[in-house]
Structures are given as structure tokens and as C-alpha cells.
Structure 1
Amino acid sequence: MLIDWFTVIAELVNFLILVWLLKRFLYEPVLKAIDEREKKIASELQHAADVEKEAESRLIELQRKNEAFDNAHTQMIKDAEQEAVEEKRTLLNEAHREYDALRMRLQETLKHEETSLESRVTDRISAEVFSIARKVLQDLSGSSLEAQIADVFCQRLRESDPEDVAAMKDAVSRKSLNPLVRSTFPLSSSLQERIQAVVRDVFSIDTQLRFEEGDDMVGGIELSMNGHSVSWSVRSYLDSLEKMTAELLEGAE
């Protein structure tokens, strides 16, 4: 069988033309479309990866912020609790101080009232004692209470210790003012002369005595000079009576 080379060559040329045409008008557009599609898919995948990465980053940031908020909230609660505890402690301390101050004021007030009451009671007892003693002395001996107190005081001067006598003499020698005699009641001229004579005899003092009345003296007379004094009053008897009364009241309670 003879080969028709012209036909073979023509078929080969036609095949090559067909291949070129397919490549030119079919394969290249398809490959180009496939390549563009792959690029688009890759771009979308990259965008999706970027979005996912950004979402993860935002999620981490949100978690960090939430954790920081929780920590801050916890710290705020702790600070508020600590502040409340300190405020409570401060208020309690202030309340205790105010209570102590009020209690001390009340105690001082009660003590002052008690002292004032004791003073009034003592003064009242003293006045009643003087009144009764004055009446008794006048009824029994016809002498006054003042004269009896002056006699007792003179006796007290005569019984002075040698040390008191020496101290009084020394005080008179170093003091420019005359010795002072203070009494609860006014002393008559005769009583003043009697006391002056006793002082002269006991203390060898020739200076004229000064006489004054003193409300703080409770039924008594006092001779004083430069811090040294000799006195007699019913205060000691009233103090003993007050002490005995207090002991009786405590025993009754």
C-alpha cells in the first residue's frame, strides 16, 4: 500500500493548526481563568487568615482587658472593704473616746456635786453644832461659845511643842509683818488681849498681833507667821464625824 505523503503532511499541518487554535482560544483562557480563580481563592484564604488572626488578636486583647477589669474590680472591692474596716475602727475609737470623755465628765460632775453636798452638810452641821453649843454654854455657864473657843485655843498655845515655839520665834525674827490671828468669828477686845498675853508668854513675842476673820476657818482660831501656824478648830471633830457617818453608811449598804 502506497503512502500518500501529501495527505499525511496535510493532516499533520491540520493537527498542528488545531493544537495551536485550541491552545490559543481554549487552553490559554481556561488556564488563565483557572489561574485567576486560584489567585482569588488564595487571596480570599489569606484575607480569611488575616481576619481570623485579627479576631484572635482582638479576642486575646478582650480577654486581657476582661482579666484586668476583674483584677481591678477585685482590688476595688478589697480597697472598699479595707476602707470600711478602717472607717469602722475610726468610728469605734471616736465613740470610745467620746464615751470615756462623757464618763469622766459625769464622774467629775458627780464628784463635784458630792464635794459640794459634803461641804454644805459640813457647814450646816457646823452651824447647828455652834448654835447648840452656844445655847448650852450660855444656859450652863453663862459664857459665850467664842470665849470657850478662845480659851481652848489659848490652852492649845500653852501646849505647843518646843519645835513649834522655836519655829514661830524664828519666823517672827525674820518677818516684817506682825503675826496674824484668824478666826471664824470676830474677837472682842478682851479676847484679843487674852490671846495677845498668851502669845507673849509662850513665844516671847512682844509685837502687836493682827486679827482677821476668815470664812475658811470652821469654828476655830489660827496663829500664823511665815508659813508656821498653830491652830484649833472643830474641823477635826467634824471630819471624824463625817468619816464615822460614811463608814456607817457603807456598812449599812
Structure 2
Amino acid sequence: MHIDWTTFALEIINFLVLVWILKRFLYKPVLETLNQRRAGIEKTLREAHSAELRAHSLQAQYEGRLADWGKEKAQARAELETELALERSRQMQSLAHDLADERARNAAVDAHRQQEMRREMETAALAQAQQFVTTLLGRLATPALEARMLDLLLADWAKLPDQQLSGLRAAAGDSALEAKVSSAFALDEAQRGRVVEALSQRLGRPVAVVFEVAPGLLAGLRISLGAWQVHFNLTDESASFAAAANHVDG
């Protein structure tokens, strides 16, 4: 086999030129491209890792925030329940106070109503009693009873203290003033004389006396001297009793 060394040498030279050309214009750009791709991939991986770290950090923050929010929610719920319990207690106390006030007002109104009813019943009873007494006394009133009442009136007049007579004596000092004696029945001369004598003796001067018959007195007398009055008769005594009973009731 014959080898053409010249051809062989040219082939070697062509191969080396081809290798140089490939290395110069193909392999180096490919390596640079691969390096760039590798650098891009590493950069992307770094960014992804950084993003993953940030995601983990955000997740941890979110989970921590959720935990804190859960605690805050539980605390807020507990505070709300406490406030609701306090408000419910205040409302119940206020309601109980209002109910107590309402019961007190109702009790006061009922008591006042009962008192008014009792007063009206007592007033009606007193009026009926006074009417009954007046009717009864009217049936019992006689000149003899009036004579006895005249004796009692004059006896009381004789015992009247001087300090109570001072006003009557001052009124009697007016010479133009007359004493008026009202009686349910007409007084006889002896009874009139006793009245005039008793008045003049205690008042310290003669007194002009006018006598009149007042059947409304039922029995007894009423002596008027100016603004002063001395009475002892069934009508005035019955009215005084009713007035005293009404005053005590009020």
C-alpha cells in the first residue's frame, strides 16, 4: 500500500485548520453561550432561592400574624363578654331599681287612693253621724234641756279665766256695743235676768243685751259680743265635734 505523504500532510493541515476554525468560530461562542446560560440559570436559581426565603419569611410572618390575630380575637371576645356581662348586670340593676321605684310609686298611689277613699268614707260617715246626731238631738231638744244648758254655760262663764276675759272686757268698753244672746227657745224673764247679770258681773260694767230666738241651735245658747262668741248649744257643739274629727283625720 502506497501512502501519499503529501496528501496525508495536507489532510492533517486541513484537519488542524478545521479544528482551529471550529474552536475559533464555533466552540468558543458555544461555550460563551453555555456560560451565559449557566450564569442566567444560576441567577434565576439564586433569585428563586431568595424568593423562596422571602416566601418562607412572609409565611412565618403571616402565621405569626394569624396567631397574634387569634390571640387578639380571643382577648377581644373575652373583653366583649366581660363588658356584656357588666352591661347586663347594670341593666338588670337599673331595671330592678326602676321596678322598685314603680312599685313604690304604685304603692304610694294605692296608699293615697286608699287614704282618700278612707277619708271620703270617714267624711261620709261623719256627715251621716252628724246628720243622725242632729236629728236625734233635734228630737231630744226641749226647753228643759236648754235650761240645763243655760245653767252649765253660766257656770262655765263664771269660771272663765281673767286672761280670756280681757278681750271681751275691751270689746265691752265700747258703750255702743251690744251683746246678742241667741237661744233655740225663748228665754223667760228670770233666765234673761241671769244672763244679763252674769255678763255685767264678769265684764265689769252693765251690758246691753239683745235676745233672739234661733231654732237652728236646737237647744242651748250663743252669746256674741262684737267679734267674740261664747256658745253652748247642740248645733255648735256638733259642728265643733265634726270639725275636730276632720282636723285630726287630715
Structure 2 match to 1:202: 202
Q: Name the CA shift for 1:70/1:203 in 2 (closer, same or farther; >3 Å).
A: farther
Contact 1:133 1:145 in 2 (8 A): no
Displacement of 1:220: 8.2
Q: How does 1:10-25 map to 2 (within 5 A)?
A: 24=28
Contact 2:168 2:225 in 1 (8 A): yes
Displacement of 1:49: 1.5
Contact 2:150 2:221 in 1 (8 A): yes
Structure 2 match to 1:160: 160
Q: How does 1:200-239 map to 2 (within 5 A)?
A: 200-204=200-204, 206=207, 232=232, 234=237
User: What is the rounded CA distance, in whole Å, between the counterparts of 1:180 and 1:45 in structure 2?
Assistant: 133
Q: How does 1:69-218 map to 2 (within 5 A)?
A: 69-138=73-142, 143=143, 149=149, 152-166=152-166, 168-169=168-169, 172=171, 197=196, 198-204=198-204, 206=207
Contact 1:134 1:145 in 2 (8 A): no
User: What is the rounded CA distance, in whole Å, between the counterparts of 2:173 and 2:76 in structure 1?
Assistant: 85
- Provide, for residues 106-130 of structure 1, a one-character-per-residue CA deviation record: whole Å limited to 9, x for no partner: 2222223323333333343343334
Displacement of 1:96: 1.4
Q: Name the CA shift for 1:160/1:42 in 2 (closer, same or farther; >3 Å).
A: same
User: C-alpha root-mean-square deviation of aligned residues, in Å?
Assistant: 5.2
Structure 2 match to 1:44: 48
- Provide, for residues 132-185 of structure 1, a one-character-per-residue CA deviation record: whole Å limited to 9, x for no partner: 3443454xxxx2766655554343323212332235435x3899xx899999xx
Greater Cα offset, 101-110 or 220-229 = 220-229
5+ long unaligned stretches in structure 1: 1-6, 243-253
Between the aligned residues of both structures, percent identity stands at 9
Letter in 2 for 1:49: L
Letter in 2 for 1:156: D
Structure 1 match to 2:248: none
5+ long unaligned stretches in structure 2: 1-8, 246-250
Displacement of 1:97: 1.5
Letter in 1 for 2:103: Y
Q: Which has the larger radius of gyration?
A: 2
Contact 1:149 1:220 in 2 (8 A): yes
Contact 2:168 2:228 in 1 (8 A): yes
TM-score, normalised to structure 2, is 0.57
Contact 1:179 1:225 in 2 (8 A): yes
Q: Name the CA shift for 1:97/1:148 in 2 (closer, same or farther; >3 Å).
A: farther
Greater Cα offset, 36-45 or 61-70 = 61-70
Contact 2:172 2:225 in 1 (8 A): no
Displacement of 1:42: 0.8
Displacement of 1:46: 0.8
TM-score, normalised to structure 1, is 0.57
- Provide, for residues 53-100 of structure 1, a one-character-per-residue CA deviation record: whole Å limited to 9, x for no partner: 223333334444444444333333333332222222222212212211
Greater Cα offset, 65-74 or 33-42 = 65-74
User: What is the rounded CA distance, in whole Å, between the counterparts of 1:195 and 1:57 in structure 2?
Assistant: 124
Contact 2:222 2:231 in 1 (8 A): yes
Displacement of 1:30: 4.3
